[in-house]
Structure 1
Amino acid sequence: MNTCILGLDSGGSKTQWVVADRQGRVVQWGTSEGLDPVTHPQWREQLRALLAKAAGTPLAAAVLGLPLHGELDAVSVEQTDIARQALPCPVTVENDVRIAFDGAFTGAHAGVLILAGTGSMAWASRNEDDAPHLRVGGWGDVFGDEGSAHWIGIQALALASRTLDGRAHAARMTQALLSHLGLTPDELIDWVYGLSNRRAGVAALAAQVSAWADAGDPDALELLNAAARHLAEHVATAWQRIGGVNAPVWSHAGGVFSHPDITRQMTRLLSAAPVTPRLPPVGGALWRAAHNAGWNPDNNWINTLASHLNHTLALPSTSPYPI
């Protein structure tokens, strides 16, 4: 009997995959770099290699949350084909923000999940039978992803460049940025355009902006406040589009929320505190896989899985992923 399920969550910076059993216990897991087709040309080989690690387990179902799925048709077809060829079980491939939504709410009620990691997007549904799911944002780093780690990094670089020109006056943060990177002002442009993975490299600066905000830098704090305003706009718009009334029911995922000022500002702007996610995004993939396997992922199962994931995902990683 196939007694396990596979859940995988991947974004612009990292991938987490977990195999869990019928009791909701983690039996196998791993992490790797992200599988974003825009910034990782080898994503096909990397995805096949990850799935091969789990293919020998007796799987009843698998759900994968992958970046750009449902956004670019050709990529979506490739992602699904690779997953179905690699795994000897029923496979569902979803957008990574959809599985974060599933993890946050586990089918409980209508809501909006705002994900802000390397990129940003809101996902919303009334969570009723046949209710449509919709997304707000997620247009990518060229003309979207406001409030994301990449967006915060871009704003920090832009403010630094304007300060170096004399068009702005964020001297403290600009010097902190140059010191962090070990650069002189003349070397900054070479650093940016010389990055092998520019999206991830710029997104990694968001963690430093958070640290500078904690240290009292007003310009860094204002960047985080601006990110919060953009993310709150995503939530309010999505809530309105699904017919929500009163203050929105919302939750969040992604490393940008590791800074408490983001959540505090959004709570103020939305007049509602976030719902604590019941499961992390990879847990959302596992919860849906359990449904697809014909199991009954009830509250006890969810609680057991949450406990195991909290322990497993808290184990130290050797990869310095950005927020």
Structure 2
Amino acid sequence: MSYVLGIDGGGSKTVCILMDDEHEVIGRGQAGAANYQSIGTEAAFMSIQSAIYEAIKLSKPIKIDAICLGLAGVGRAKDIDIVKGLVSGLIDTQTLPITWNLQPSNIVICNDALIALVGGIGHSVGIVAAVGTGSIIFGQNQQGETKRVGGWGYILGDEGSAYKIAVAGMQAALKSYDGREKSTSLIEAFQQHLNLKNIEDLIEIIYRRGWGVKQIAALAPIVDLAAAYGDEVANHIIDDAVRELVKATATVIEDIFSPDSALEIVTTGSVWQGRCNIHERFTSAMVDKFPQVKVIFPRHEPAYGAGLLALQSLTR
């Protein structure tokens, strides 16, 4: 029996699963963030080590034959070298009760979009539309060719994301307050949610308190709920988000797949959970454009996808 580790390291948490060669999950652990670019390599190392320990603590001691780390922000050669250094640190540490049986080919380092694709679908061919605080569309075809669209961050991109929906909602509320936009329930909705005396108090919240991207993105459900209740302005914002996401996904299909390919698009991230049927709107638009595609919710979590990629490395 071979055992592998699959690690999903993001900006808020790190998940590790212990998997055997029959694809069974033996253990699961969770720890803090592992995006070394935002928290530093030492903190990222500690999160990864803690998640591994939690995953194996009921199975120790154990021999690990392969490991896959799918980490946010990893894509360049420099990033991969840094993560290789983290793996070397894991092997050298005396903290983990693990016998490491790793060859260079069994250490898989990739970005978190790939493990979300593999975990969500169950294999490595298809597309993942990851739409939460930010947004990115990532695909891989049967020849191993990949295509990424978006993922450029909240200033340069992230169309369709929770952040962009929230900002568009606040802008629309203020335009309506000015008289430049149609009447919208978003004014009252933001006032109630943020306990504002007047919509003008958004200035104090957003600018003077220095709210960050995640705090602003957390306001997207206000727009979603207004749209679900039939607010015309809010629905226009959601329709714009859908159009951007359809365009980005279509770009991936047209670049690395044939238009009549029967492929799956897995949708991950908080935006797809909205009450205004954004998932159904996206699905309908995609199927109209590409009748052979199937839009699904994830079958497994990204860490499971990392485990599958680790197992795959043993058969090469």
Please say whether Structure 1 and Structure 2 have the same fold, judged by a TM-score greater than 0.5: yes
Counterpart for residue 246 of structure 1: 260
Query: TM-score when scaled to structure 1?
Result: 0.77
Counterpart for residue 25 of structure 2: 26
State the shift of 1:33 in Å.
Answer: 5.2
Structure 2: gaps (5+ residues): 57-61, 92-99
Matches within 5 A, 1:1-323: 3-32=2-31, 34-36=33-35, 41-55=38-52, 57=56, 58=62, 59-70=64-75, 74-87=78-91, 88=100, 89=102, 90-107=106-123, 110-128=125-143, 131-184=144-197, 185-194=199-208, 198-246=212-260, 249=263, 250-259=265-274, 261-270=277-286, 271=288, 272=291, 273-294=294-315
**Rounded Cα–Cα distance in structure 2 between residues aligned with 1:278 and 1:5:** 20
C-alpha distance 84-215 of structure 1, shift in aligned 2 (>3 A):
farther
Larger Cα-atom Rg: 2
Q: Give the AA of the match of 2:179.
A: G
Deviation sequence 1:13-66 (CA, Å, 0-9, x none):
54433233344343433445554466xx32534422222225554332221222
C-alpha distance 116-165 of structure 1, shift in aligned 2 (>3 A):
same
SS for the counterpart of 1:290 is helix
**Rounded Cα–Cα distance in structure 1 between residues aligned with 2:75 and 2:278:** 28
C-alpha distance 75-170 of structure 1, shift in aligned 2 (>3 A):
farther
Counterpart for residue 315 of structure 1: none
Aligned length: 288
Q: Give the AA of the match of 2:5.
A: L
Preserved contact between residue 114 and residue 234 of structure 1 (Cα < 8 Å): no
Structure 1: gaps (5+ residues): 296-323
Preserved contact between residue 103 and residue 278 of structure 1 (Cα < 8 Å): yes
Deviation sequence 1:165-198 (CA, Å, 0-9, x none):
3322344112211211223434312322356661
SS for the counterpart of 2:153 is coil
Q: Give the AA of the match of 1:229.
A: R
Q: Give the AA of the match of 1:95.
A: N
RMSD: 2.9
How high is the sequence identity, in percent, across the aligned residues?
A: 27
SS for the counterpart of 1:123 is strand
State the shift of 1:123 in Å.
Answer: 1.2
C-alpha distance 116-83 of structure 1, shift in aligned 2 (>3 A):
farther
Q: Give the AA of the match of 2:301.
A: P
Deviation sequence 1:143-168 (CA, Å, 0-9, x none):
11111112212212222232333322
Preserved contact between residue 17 and residue 31 of structure 1 (Cα < 8 Å): yes
Q: Give the AA of the match of 1:254.
A: G
Preserved contact between residue 6 and residue 54 of structure 1 (Cα < 8 Å): no
Deviation sequence 1:185-220 (CA, Å, 0-9, x none):
343123223566611111111233223333333333
